Amino acid sequence: MRSLDIAGTGMQAQQTNVETISNNIANMTTTGYKRSRAEFQDLIYQNIRRVGTSSSDTGTVVPAGTQVGLGVKTAAIYRINQQGNLEQTGNTLDFAIQGRGYFQVQLPSGQMAYTRDGTFSLSNAGTIVTADGYSLVPPITIPSNAISVTVDQSGQISVTTPGQTQSQIVGQIQLATFINDNGLDAMGQNLFLQTQASGDPNIGTPNSIQGIGAVMQGYVESSNVNVVTEITDLITAQRAYEMNSKVITASDDMMQTLTSLGR
Protein backbone atom coordinates (compact mmCIF):
# COMPACT_ATOMS: atom_id res chain seq x y z
CA MET A 1 0.00 0.00 0.00
CA ARG A 2 1.38 3.38 -1.03
CA SER A 3 -0.01 5.04 2.07
CA LEU A 4 2.54 3.27 4.29
CA ASP A 5 5.48 4.74 2.39
CA ILE A 6 3.79 8.13 2.00
CA ALA A 7 3.08 8.43 5.71
CA GLY A 8 6.64 7.29 6.41
CA THR A 9 8.05 10.20 4.40
CA GLY A 10 5.70 12.51 6.31
CA MET A 11 7.03 11.29 9.66
CA GLN A 12 10.63 11.72 8.49
CA ALA A 13 9.86 15.25 7.30
CA GLN A 14 8.29 16.23 10.62
CA GLN A 15 11.22 14.69 12.48
CA THR A 16 13.52 17.03 10.51
CA ASN A 17 11.13 19.89 11.30
CA VAL A 18 11.26 19.14 15.03
CA GLU A 19 15.07 18.86 14.93
CA THR A 20 15.28 22.29 13.27
CA ILE A 21 12.95 23.82 15.85
CA SER A 22 14.83 22.22 18.73
CA ASN A 23 18.10 23.66 17.45
CA ASN A 24 16.48 27.11 17.35
CA ILE A 25 15.26 26.77 20.93
CA ALA A 26 18.65 25.46 22.10
CA ASN A 27 20.31 28.57 20.62
CA MET A 28 17.81 31.12 21.86
CA THR A 29 20.56 32.77 23.97
CA THR A 30 23.41 32.33 21.46
CA THR A 31 24.90 35.67 20.42
CA GLY A 32 24.16 36.54 16.79
CA TYR A 33 22.28 33.28 16.10
CA LYS A 34 19.79 33.29 13.21
CA ARG A 35 16.85 30.94 13.49
CA SER A 36 16.29 28.31 10.82
CA ARG A 37 13.16 27.08 9.06
CA ALA A 38 12.71 23.78 7.25
CA GLU A 39 11.11 23.88 3.80
CA PHE A 40 9.50 20.84 2.18
CA GLN A 41 8.59 19.69 -1.34
CA ASP A 42 6.18 17.05 -2.56
CA LEU A 43 7.73 13.98 -4.20
CA ILE A 44 7.09 12.79 -7.76
CA TYR A 45 3.61 11.71 -8.77
CA GLN A 46 2.48 8.40 -10.21
CA ASN A 47 0.23 8.95 -13.23
CA ILE A 48 -2.60 6.45 -13.33
CA ARG A 49 -4.38 8.51 -15.99
CA ARG A 50 -2.27 11.30 -17.45
CA VAL A 51 -3.83 14.73 -17.72
CA GLY A 52 -4.19 16.14 -21.23
CA THR A 53 -4.23 12.79 -23.02
CA SER A 54 -6.83 11.99 -25.64
CA SER A 55 -9.93 10.22 -24.30
CA SER A 56 -11.67 9.45 -27.61
CA ASP A 57 -11.25 9.35 -31.37
CA THR A 58 -13.11 12.65 -31.64
CA GLY A 59 -10.30 14.59 -29.95
CA THR A 60 -11.70 14.97 -26.42
CA VAL A 61 -9.02 15.52 -23.77
CA VAL A 62 -8.78 14.32 -20.18
CA PRO A 63 -9.27 17.55 -18.16
CA ALA A 64 -7.80 16.50 -14.81
CA GLY A 65 -6.29 13.05 -14.93
CA THR A 66 -5.40 10.80 -12.00
CA GLN A 67 -2.15 11.43 -10.15
CA VAL A 68 -1.15 9.90 -6.83
CA GLY A 69 1.52 11.71 -4.82
CA LEU A 70 4.29 9.66 -3.26
CA GLY A 71 5.03 11.78 -0.20
CA VAL A 72 7.24 14.65 0.92
CA LYS A 73 10.94 15.47 1.18
CA THR A 74 13.04 18.15 2.85
CA ALA A 75 14.01 20.73 0.24
CA ALA A 76 16.13 23.09 2.34
CA ILE A 77 16.67 24.53 5.79
CA TYR A 78 16.81 28.31 5.49
CA ARG A 79 18.28 30.80 7.93
CA ILE A 80 16.04 33.76 8.71
CA ASN A 81 18.55 36.63 8.63
CA GLN A 82 16.38 39.04 10.56
CA GLN A 83 18.12 41.55 12.82
CA GLY A 84 18.27 40.41 16.44
CA ASN A 85 17.80 42.78 19.36
CA LEU A 86 20.85 44.74 20.50
CA GLU A 87 21.63 44.19 24.16
CA GLN A 88 23.82 46.68 25.99
CA THR A 89 26.68 45.06 27.88
CA GLY A 90 28.99 47.99 28.61
CA ASN A 91 31.97 45.83 27.64
CA THR A 92 34.49 47.84 25.62
CA LEU A 93 35.23 45.01 23.17
CA ASP A 94 31.63 43.92 22.60
CA PHE A 95 30.58 44.95 19.08
CA ALA A 96 27.19 44.50 17.45
CA ILE A 97 26.34 45.01 13.79
CA GLN A 98 23.19 47.03 13.21
CA GLY A 99 22.23 46.11 9.67
CA ARG A 100 23.92 43.85 7.15
CA GLY A 101 27.42 42.48 7.42
CA TYR A 102 29.76 39.99 9.07
CA PHE A 103 32.99 40.35 11.01
CA GLN A 104 35.93 38.67 9.30
CA VAL A 105 37.88 36.12 11.33
CA GLN A 106 41.02 34.21 10.37
CA LEU A 107 41.03 30.53 11.31
CA PRO A 108 44.22 28.68 12.34
CA SER A 109 44.22 27.06 8.87
CA GLY A 110 44.49 30.51 7.31
CA GLN A 111 40.96 30.26 5.93
CA MET A 112 38.61 33.22 6.31
CA ALA A 113 35.43 32.80 8.36
CA TYR A 114 32.56 35.19 8.99
CA THR A 115 30.49 35.85 12.10
CA ARG A 116 27.83 38.10 13.62
CA ASP A 117 29.14 37.33 17.10
CA GLY A 118 30.96 40.46 18.22
CA THR A 119 32.09 39.34 21.68
CA PHE A 120 35.80 40.01 21.32
CA SER A 121 38.74 40.01 23.72
CA LEU A 122 42.45 40.81 23.65
CA SER A 123 45.17 38.22 23.12
CA ASN A 124 48.43 38.26 25.07
CA ALA A 125 49.88 40.30 22.19
CA GLY A 126 47.10 42.88 22.42
CA THR A 127 45.33 41.89 19.19
CA ILE A 128 41.52 41.69 19.04
CA VAL A 129 40.40 38.04 18.94
CA THR A 130 37.25 35.94 19.30
CA ALA A 131 36.44 33.76 22.31
CA ASP A 132 38.39 30.96 20.61
CA GLY A 133 41.43 33.17 20.00
CA TYR A 134 40.85 33.68 16.27
CA SER A 135 42.13 37.03 15.07
CA LEU A 136 39.83 39.72 13.71
CA VAL A 137 40.64 40.68 10.10
CA PRO A 138 42.19 43.10 9.39
CA PRO A 139 44.29 42.57 12.55
CA ILE A 140 44.00 45.35 15.12
CA THR A 141 46.39 45.72 18.07
CA ILE A 142 45.52 47.72 21.17
CA PRO A 143 48.53 49.28 22.98
CA SER A 144 49.19 47.79 26.38
CA ASN A 145 49.14 51.24 28.02
CA ALA A 146 45.78 52.25 26.50
CA ILE A 147 43.52 53.97 29.00
CA SER A 148 40.36 53.77 26.88
CA VAL A 149 39.25 52.22 23.59
CA THR A 150 36.59 53.86 21.45
CA VAL A 151 34.91 52.44 18.35
CA ASP A 152 32.64 54.65 16.26
CA GLN A 153 29.79 53.42 14.05
CA SER A 154 32.05 53.38 10.98
CA GLY A 155 34.34 50.85 12.73
CA GLN A 156 37.25 53.19 13.38
CA ILE A 157 39.09 52.23 16.58
CA SER A 158 40.80 54.92 18.65
CA VAL A 159 42.70 54.67 21.92
CA THR A 160 43.82 57.12 24.56
CA THR A 161 47.19 56.64 26.21
CA PRO A 162 48.78 58.39 29.22
CA GLY A 163 50.20 61.83 28.47
CA GLN A 164 48.10 62.31 25.33
CA THR A 165 45.26 64.78 25.07
CA GLN A 166 43.96 63.45 21.77
CA SER A 167 43.01 59.90 20.89
CA GLN A 168 45.06 57.89 18.43
CA ILE A 169 43.55 55.78 15.60
CA VAL A 170 44.89 52.21 15.76
CA GLY A 171 42.69 50.35 13.29
CA GLN A 172 39.62 50.10 11.08
CA ILE A 173 37.05 47.31 11.24
CA GLN A 174 35.96 46.02 7.84
CA LEU A 175 32.72 44.10 7.35
CA ALA A 176 31.77 41.61 4.65
CA THR A 177 28.40 41.23 2.95
CA PHE A 178 27.17 38.51 0.61
CA ILE A 179 24.58 38.54 -2.13
CA ASN A 180 23.13 35.29 -0.71
CA ASP A 181 23.54 34.98 3.06
CA ASN A 182 21.76 31.61 3.05
CA GLY A 183 24.52 30.25 0.83
CA LEU A 184 27.06 30.51 3.67
CA ASP A 185 28.17 27.23 5.22
CA ALA A 186 27.62 27.12 9.00
CA MET A 187 30.59 25.44 10.70
CA GLY A 188 29.58 25.96 14.34
CA GLN A 189 31.20 28.30 16.89
CA ASN A 190 29.04 31.11 15.39
CA LEU A 191 31.19 30.99 12.25
CA PHE A 192 30.32 30.72 8.56
CA LEU A 193 32.37 29.87 5.49
CA GLN A 194 32.03 31.24 1.98
CA THR A 195 30.63 28.89 -0.68
CA GLN A 196 29.89 29.12 -4.36
CA ALA A 197 26.23 29.69 -3.49
CA SER A 198 26.97 32.67 -1.24
CA GLY A 199 29.10 34.44 -3.83
CA ASP A 200 32.26 36.40 -3.13
CA PRO A 201 32.32 38.73 -0.11
CA ASN A 202 31.91 42.45 -0.59
CA ILE A 203 34.33 44.07 1.85
CA GLY A 204 33.64 47.61 2.97
CA THR A 205 33.56 50.19 5.72
CA PRO A 206 30.69 49.94 8.21
CA ASN A 207 27.87 52.50 8.12
CA SER A 208 28.71 53.42 4.53
CA ILE A 209 26.67 53.91 1.38
CA GLN A 210 27.53 50.33 0.33
CA GLY A 211 24.62 48.98 2.36
CA ILE A 212 26.86 47.73 5.17
CA GLY A 213 25.59 48.05 8.74
CA ALA A 214 26.98 50.15 11.56
CA VAL A 215 29.19 48.91 14.41
CA MET A 216 27.78 49.51 17.89
CA GLN A 217 30.34 49.41 20.72
CA GLY A 218 29.23 48.02 24.07
CA TYR A 219 26.40 45.98 22.54
CA VAL A 220 25.90 42.41 21.34
CA GLU A 221 23.26 41.12 18.95
CA SER A 222 20.98 38.60 20.61
CA SER A 223 19.46 35.58 18.88
CA ASN A 224 16.45 36.34 16.70
CA VAL A 225 14.61 33.23 17.94
CA ASN A 226 11.01 33.97 18.95
CA VAL A 227 10.09 31.45 21.64
CA VAL A 228 6.33 31.79 21.11
CA THR A 229 6.69 31.11 17.38
CA GLU A 230 8.98 28.13 17.98
CA ILE A 231 6.63 26.53 20.53
CA THR A 232 3.67 27.02 18.18
CA ASP A 233 5.62 25.46 15.29
CA LEU A 234 6.70 22.61 17.57
CA ILE A 235 3.09 21.79 18.46
CA THR A 236 2.10 21.91 14.78
CA ALA A 237 4.96 19.57 13.84
CA GLN A 238 4.05 17.19 16.67
CA ARG A 239 0.42 17.02 15.54
CA ALA A 240 1.48 16.45 11.92
CA TYR A 241 3.75 13.61 13.06
CA GLU A 242 0.87 12.04 15.01
CA MET A 243 -1.47 12.28 12.01
CA ASN A 244 1.06 10.53 9.78
CA SER A 245 1.43 7.79 12.37
CA LYS A 246 -2.37 7.42 12.35
CA VAL A 247 -2.23 6.88 8.59
CA ILE A 248 0.25 4.03 9.10
CA THR A 249 -1.99 2.50 11.75
CA ALA A 250 -5.03 2.77 9.47
CA SER A 251 -3.11 1.27 6.54
CA ASP A 252 -1.97 -1.60 8.74
CA ASP A 253 -5.58 -2.26 9.81
CA MET A 254 -6.65 -2.32 6.16
CA MET A 255 -3.92 -4.83 5.33
CA GLN A 256 -4.99 -7.02 8.24
CA THR A 257 -8.54 -6.94 6.87
CA LEU A 258 -7.27 -8.06 3.46
CA THR A 259 -5.20 -10.92 4.89
CA SER A 260 -8.12 -12.10 7.02
CA LEU A 261 -10.25 -12.49 3.86
CA GLY A 262 -7.93 -15.18 2.56
CA ARG A 263 -8.20 -17.40 5.63
Name the band, by pLDDT with cuts 50, 70 and 90, for residue 1.
confident
Based on the fold, state whether residues 70 and 173 are members of the same structural domain.
Answer: no
Based on the fold, state whether residues 90 and 146 are members of the same structural domain.
Answer: yes
Q: Lowest mean pLDDT: which of 85-89, 146-150, 205-209?
A: 205-209
pLDDT at residue number 263: 66
pLDDT at residue number 60: 82
> How far apart are alpha carbons 108 and 113 in whole angstroms?
10
Based on the fold, state whether residues 166 and 58 are members of the same structural domain.
Answer: no
- C-alpha torsion angle, residues 180, 186, 191, 196 (rounded to 10): -40
Based on the fold, state whether residues 117 and 22 are members of the same structural domain.
Answer: no
Q: Please give the residue range of the domain that contains residue 13.
A: 2-81+225-261
Mean of the pLDDT values across residues 151-173? 92
**DSSP tag of 188:** E
Based on the fold, state whether residues 212 and 109 are members of the same structural domain.
Answer: yes
Based on the fold, state whether residues 159 and 217 are members of the same structural domain.
Answer: yes
Based on the fold, state whether residues 156 and 194 are members of the same structural domain.
Answer: yes
61: left (phi over 0), alpha (psi -120 to 50) or beta: beta
pLDDT digits (tens, 9 = 90+) for 99-121: 999 999 999 999 999 999 999 99
Based on the fold, state whether residues 95 and 215 are members of the same structural domain.
Answer: yes
pLDDT at residue number 69: 87
Greater pLDDT, 67 or 198: 198
Q: How many independent structural domains does the chain possess?
A: 2
pLDDT at 56 over 80: no
Name the band, by pLDDT with cuts 50, 70 and 90, for residue 173.
very high
pLDDT at residue number 143: 92
Based on the fold, state whether residues 99 and 214 are members of the same structural domain.
Answer: yes
pLDDT at 203 over 80: yes
Based on the fold, state whether residues 191 and 249 are members of the same structural domain.
Answer: no
Based on the fold, state whether residues 116 and 31 are members of the same structural domain.
Answer: no
Looking at the DSSP bridge assignments, the partners of residue 159 are: 149, 168
**DSSP tag of 23:** H
Residue 253: C-alpha distances to residues 1, 246, 249, 257 (Å) = 12, 11, 6, 6
Based on the fold, state whether residues 248 and 205 are members of the same structural domain.
Answer: no
Name the band, by pLDDT with cuts 50, 70 and 90, for residue 125.
very high
Q: Lowest mean pLDDT: which of 32-41, 52-61, 205-214?
A: 52-61
Which is nearest to 139 in space by CA: 166, 167, 120, 117?
Answer: 120
pLDDT above 90 covers a percentage of the chain that reads: 78
pLDDT at residue number 262: 64
Mean of the pLDDT values across residues 49-71? 81
Name the band, by pLDDT with cuts 50, 70 and 90, for residue 258.
confident
Q: Lowest mean pLDDT: which of 20-29, 31-40, 45-54, 166-175?
A: 45-54
Which is nearest to 116 in space by CA: 182, 34, 206?
Answer: 34
Packed helices 227-261 and 2-26: angle between N→C axes, nearest 10 degrees: 160
pTM check: above 0.85? yes
pLDDT at residue number 164: 82
Contacts 24+ apart (CB under 8 A), 248-256: 248/3, 248/4, 248/7, 248/8, 248/11, 250/3, 251/1, 251/3, 251/4, 251/7, 252/4, 254/1, 255/1
pLDDT at residue number 64: 79
pLDDT at 209 over 90: no
Angle at 205 between CA 188 and CA 101, to 5 degrees: 30
